[in-house]
Amino acid sequence: MPELPEVEVICQGLQSHLLQQTILTVHCSGKNLRTRIDCQALQKELCNAKIVSLTRRAKYLLLKTDTGASLIIHLGMTGNLGIFPLHSAGKKHDHVCWLLGNNTELRYNDTRRFGSIRLLKKADSAKEEKDFFAALGPEPLSSACTTAYLVKKAEKRKQAIKSFLMDSHVIAGIGNIYANETLFTTGIHPGQPASSLSSKQWKRVLIALRKILKHAIACGGSTISDFVNASGEGGYFQMNFKIYGKTGEPCLQCRTHIEKIEVGGRASFFCPKCQKKLE
């Protein structure tokens, strides 16, 4: 599943192609995604509307128009958005296409159809947007995500630190890859209770997390499974993985073999020497 850096890369890649473009028509495949697609409503709300912004919130893309109508897009496991010339051949799993005023199409392709496209109608889009994102924690790269905030949130939490980092109610958008990489960088066992970390450790976690996310964005994301950016090109941050997916390989720091366990139902990779769990 595309994580925060991958969604940010797609967002940045699409902005120059979409901003100030008018949506002329909307076409749908007739197949639903994780949620139902009301193509008639998309046409009614979006046709002749001008795209004024495209931003990311957690792992969602938020597209706004000058009429007030908006789209909240989640890429699911295999979803991708790309810009294509009007008469170029479509692909089998193109499920929604927006024809733009410059004779290009924004196409949403999703092989497994686990993504979603939510329409916020112009009449009540502001309220719906606020309600939709109300439960999300702050962005990890924002000023609202501080060491003091994390210490307070983790207080009395017995939850494993890795699950805590991936809880979108605490921090928005941190997925499995970047939680693994952050904990290895800071020498913290993924099963360590969140409440056991000191303020100094939380500061190190936040610094490492931000550095890793920024590096991943600069690298164009991680090409895991079907991720490609808005231009159809894969990212290459996976070449910088230090721990993720490296079961049995020697640790880069101490040469101890990396192990894999499940934490919160997710694959967790760690070095048993560099990331010792406190008793």
Q: What is the pLDDT of residues 199-255, one digit of tens each?
A: 999 999 999 999 999 988 888 755 444 444 455 555 444 556 899 999 999 999 999
Sign of CA dihedral 85, 86, 92, 95: positive
- Out of 122, 157, 203, 266, the active site residue is 266
Q: What is the largest CA-CA distance in the chain?
A: 63
Would you state the pLDDT for residue 279?
Answer: 56
Does the pLDDT at position 46 exceed 90? yes
Would you state the pLDDT for residue 53?
Answer: 98
What is the overall mean pLDDT for the chain? 91
190 carries an active-site annotation: no
Q: Which residues have a Cβ under 8 Å from the Cβ of 71 and sit 6 or more positions away? A: 46, 61, 62, 63, 117, 118, 119, 120
85 carries an active-site annotation: no
Would you state the pLDDT for residue 219?
Answer: 80
Is pLDDT larger for residue 2 or for residue 15? Answer: 15
266 carries an active-site annotation: yes
- Out of 3, 6, 45, 181, the active site residue is 3
- Out of 56, 59, 64, 107, the active site residue is 59
Would you state the pLDDT for residue 165?
Answer: 97
Tokens coding 39: 């193509």
- Looking from the CA of 160 toward its CB, the CA atoms found within 13 Å total 18
64 carries an active-site annotation: no
- Out of 2, 5, 140, 190, the active site residue is 2
Helix H or strand E segment including 118: strand 116-120
- The pTM assigned to this predicted structure is 0.88
Which of 20-24, 82-86, 169-173 is least confident? Answer: 82-86
Q: What is the four-CA torsion angle of 40, 45, 48, 51, rounded to 10 degrees?
A: -120
Query: Phi and psi (nearest 5°) for 97?
Result: -130, 130
Q: Which residue segments constitute the domains of the chain, with CATH numbers given?
A: 4-133 (3.20.190.10), 147-270 (1.10.8.50)
Instruction: State the average pLDDT over residues 82-107.
Output: 92
